[in-house]
Structure 1
Amino acid sequence: MASISSLGVGSGLDLSGLLDQLRAAERQKLQPITAQKTQEQGKISAYGRLQSGLSKLQDAVAKLNDGGLYQSLSASVQGEGMTATTTEEASPGRYEVTVTHTARAGSLASTGVADLETTQIAADAIDPKLTVTFGDDTTKDIALTPGATLEEIRDAVNADAEAGVDASIIFDGADHRLVLSSRESGADAGVKDMAFSGLEGGVTLAGDPDTHQPGRDALLDINGIEITSTTNTVEGAIQGVTLTLDPSASGETMSLVVERDRESVKEAVTAFVDAYNEMKSTVGRMTNVTGDAETAGELVGDRTVRNVESQLSRNLVDPVAGGDITMLSQLGISLQANGRLEMDADKLDEALADNPQALVDFFAGDSEEAGMAGRLEGTLGRMLGDDGTIQSAISSSETQVSSLERRYDRTEQSIERTIDRYRKQFSQLDGLIAQMNSVSSYLGQQLTMLNNQFSQN
């Protein structure tokens, strides 16, 4: 208990100040409890950050343990005007693609109209319509409104979701023309003709054949085989591969290579190394020994952290049996003295090019937990599970925090009872000192009177 300043005597005694000092001294009993609670709360926060780092590592390991990663293909194009994507149905191969011309939508303009305000459809027309003929000779009737102008005809076409064409108006410098453009590309979907019924007397609105631009299929050659497509997205010509042609591709010859997607595998391995190193950095900050309790890591000497690091390190260095590659070091990945991983990208590229199957056997193996990634995934699963290592540590600290809170409350109540007892005692003391002062004052008066009597005699 902290020292208490000397008490005064008589009426000079500061009982309130003394009581405050006693309270402050008693409340020092709470400081160790608060310090322990802060320490446990710091541990909970640190365990949460460790959990987050391990979860990120778990995601990276899961990708390496997915056999599909090593079976995926990528497509690369040499030349301008075409892109390619693959699906799981694709197979490795090399192709030469020559594009004669790309697909386009057809269009047709009407004969000219001098004044947009002029009525084109008779006001008394019965069921007037615009009939559009397409490249495959199918037709589509679009209902028009009696008394409609060219602009209202345009609006009626665009309002019809099933029209198969979009309408616009172009001014050629002398007249206004209604232009119909196919909503889809290809020869069959292209606009071929337009015809109106219910026209106003004297109106000769019709399709102008001189403006006709027929729809066109894309025409290309793949390794000597002629291919047509109604759109510039060519699907099915090469199984599992989709080609997308740009209008600039017409007349171009390009090379297409479909091969194992080494880059995705390399990215997955790099992500694993980065996630592991990030987790190690997190652990390093949590276990940093500075000699100062205020700046040291929250988990210095923590058994849970030691177990986590030990298990992960063992998973990384233990050989994987059954394949040409048995150690991470054969892939250019080495475990450094500080516990971090270092990757030689050139050596990894060499392994990917020379023996990709060995990479599959090492990381994914022939079963879910056979390869190194599977082994790590199992370990991380046990650490991060609902009853795993990390959650158990968090629960233990949370239990400790609850216990400390109850202990704090009990101690605080005990302190208040002690202060109440002091207050009562001081009150009694105050009364006793007051009484003694009164007696002292009376005796002083009596002595003074006696002294005066003796002096008079």
Structure 2
Amino acid sequence: MASISSLGIGSGLDLNGLLDDLQKAEKEKLVPIVERQETQQTKISAYGQLQSALSQFQTAAEALNDSALYESLSTSVGGSAITAAADEEAQPGSYNVTVDTLATRGTLASEGVAAADEAITAADQKLTLNFADGSTQEIDIASGSTLEDIRDTINATEDSGVNATIINDGTNYRLALSSSETGADASIADFSFDGTAPFTADTANTLQSGTDAALTVNGIDITSSTNQVEGAIQGVTLNLQEEGNSTVKVEQNTLKVREAVTGFVNAYNDLKDTISDLTSFNSDTGEAGELVGDSVVRTVESRLRGVLGGVVDGELSILSDIGISQKYDSGLGYSKLEIDEGKLNDAIANNQEALSTFFAGDTEEAGMAGQINTTIEQLLSSNGRVSGAIAGAENSKASLVEQYTRMEQSIEQTMSRYRSQFGQLDGMIAQMNQTSSYLTQQFDALDAQLGRS
């Protein structure tokens, strides 16, 4: 049989068009698989949103499951004489602070020299710095040093006890020394050279002794070599700013507790909004959320409802005792947590110990926050309902990818078979047409002969 280079040439039929139609029909078999893939991907995304909202609620609950939260203290300062900060050792109290004197640094200048950049030492020698507490510091000065070199050498010496600069008094240049630390004992008192002195200390005119800070806390006299006073009030650091009076109040940090409780309520309500979006159904349009009727969502809601409605041992035993209640919103069509500000304020201001017992308990899982954390941990664990649902959807999607590949291969095999069969058909019809044409010619010739006879 003669080969056909292009389908339809031999038969005159539109076999290519027919093959295209058959291929389109075959590829329709892929559509349900693609749709199921999209459904699984939508579910994976939806479960991911649920997982994220649960994780955020868990984080908010963990913040309340820390007894240190209810023991944290804050300081408030009245007046501008000081600032203050409390640490974990501080105790609640009120203090009157009077700053009489700030701690200052001692200063001293040298006699003047004519130029700052001309050599003034003829040999190597030692510069000895003397301090008010009787201590000394020796610094090696090289031969041929200028006033600038001496300044730089002092500043390059670790633990020299002073900072050096150069001041021009309008006529001469002077080496100016300032104690590195504040306080009377750290004050620079004098200096000298062990050889021929290039200049001397002007103690008569420029020496200003450093002073200790002097203050009173609730009438008790206190001195400090620095303006950062630690230990005068247990667990509180006072930073002296100026002379004058201030008050310091150390009290429980109610703001942190309130922020944590509010964050807990907001995170739960965000979770409820997410669940509502995922399970919504619009009867007018027929549009449905990705997880409408999903058993995993029902499990999540049921587990959390059980914990939030549960009882905790203690003076405060249920959420409503601290001013948190579930309220149905007819506009939304579901319940959300709501805060009774007055009741919560009272619990935070007057009963943080009971609040700590309610949320944090005496063990990690005893309080309300611990129970919520445990529940969500179970839901999100590798063998939990949410993670299991995600894994199941991912496995289904992977299986559908394999199914899609197999179907594509099957379609290609079918189309290859059709092309082969159509090629055979085309050749057969072509041969038949040739035979028909030949017979027609023979019959025409026979008719012509019979007609002549």
TM-score, scaled relative to structure 2: 0.91
Match of 1:4 in 2: none
Letter in 2 for 1:217: D
Deviation at 1:456, TM superposition (A): 4.9
After TM superposition, the structure 1 stretch with the greater mean CA deviation from structure 2, 255-264 or 109-118, is 109-118
- Give me the whole-angstrom Cα distance separating, in 2, the residues matched to 1:312 and 1:431: 73
Deviation at 1:321, TM superposition (A): 3.8
After TM superposition, the structure 1 stretch with the greater mean CA deviation from structure 2, 164-173 or 227-236, is 164-173
- Which residue of 318, 329, 349 corresponds with 1:327? 318
Match of 1:129 in 2: 126
**What do residues 426-445 of structure 1 show as CA deviations (whole Å, max 9, x unaligned)?**
11111111112212222332
Q: Does 1:260 align with 2:255?
A: no
- Give me the whole-angstrom Cα distance separating, in 2, the residues matched to 1:284 and 1:209: 84
Do 1:196 and 1:206's aligned partners in 2 also have CA atoms closer than 8 Å?
A: no
Do 1:130 and 1:141's aligned partners in 2 also have CA atoms closer than 8 Å?
A: yes
- Give me the whole-angstrom Cα distance separating, in 2, the residues matched to 1:224 and 1:148: 53
- Give me the whole-angstrom Cα distance separating, in 1, the residues matched to 2:364 and 2:210: 53
Match of 1:11 in 2: 11
Match of 1:341 in 2: 337
How do 1:34-433 and structure 2 match up within 5 A? Answer: 34-122=34-122, 125-126=123-124, 128-199=125-196, 203-246=198-241, 249-250=242-243, 252-290=244-282, 296-323=288-315, 325-337=316-328, 338-433=334-429
Structure 1 counterpart SS, 2:108? strand
**What do residues 84-138 of structure 1 show as CA deviations (whole Å, max 9, x unaligned)?**
222221111111111112222222222222212221211xx13x12211122121
- Give me the whole-angstrom Cα distance separating, in 1, the residues matched to 2:385 and 2:195: 83
Moved over 6 A (4+): 7-10, 291-295
Deviation at 1:45, TM superposition (A): 2.5
Deviation at 1:148, TM superposition (A): 0.6
Unaligned regions of 5+ residues in structure 1, if any?
A: 1-6
Cα distance change on mapping 1:118 and 1:436 into 2, 3 Å: same
**What do residues 174-230 of structure 1 show as CA deviations (whole Å, max 9, x unaligned)?**
222222222222221222222234447xx4343444222222221110011111112
Alignment coverage as a number of residue pairs: 442
- Give me the whole-angstrom Cα distance separating, in 2, the residues matched to 1:229 and 1:384: 55
- Give me the whole-angstrom Cα distance separating, in 1, the residues matched to 2:132 and 2:288: 79
**What do residues 220-258 of structure 1 show as CA deviations (whole Å, max 9, x unaligned)?**
100111111121111111111111222xx21x1111111
Do 2:314 and 2:354's aligned partners in 1 also have CA atoms closer than 8 Å?
A: no
Identity of aligned residues (%): 51
**What do residues 10-65 of structure 1 show as CA deviations (whole Å, max 9, x unaligned)?**
73322222222212211211121122122212222222232222222212211212
Cα distance change on mapping 1:171 and 1:426 into 2, 3 Å: same
- Give me the whole-angstrom Cα distance separating, in 2, the residues matched to 1:148 and 1:272: 69
Letter in 2 for 1:157: I
Structure 1 counterpart SS, 2:335? coil
TM-score, scaled relative to structure 1: 0.90
- Give me the whole-angstrom Cα distance separating, in 1, the residues matched to 2:451 and 2:203: 150
Cα distance change on mapping 1:437 and 1:199 into 2, 3 Å: farther
Do 1:363 and 1:372's aligned partners in 2 also have CA atoms closer than 8 Å?
A: yes
Letter in 1 for 2:262: T
How large is the Cα RMSD of the aligned pairs?
A: 2.4
Unaligned regions of 5+ residues in structure 2, if any?
A: 1-6, 329-333
- Give me the whole-angstrom Cα distance separating, in 1, the residues matched to 2:189 and 2:248: 36
Do 2:11 and 2:427's aligned partners in 1 also have CA atoms closer than 8 Å?
A: no
Cα distance change on mapping 1:285 and 1:207 into 2, 3 Å: farther
Cα distance change on mapping 1:17 and 1:292 into 2, 3 Å: farther
Do 2:110 and 2:199's aligned partners in 1 also have CA atoms closer than 8 Å?
A: no
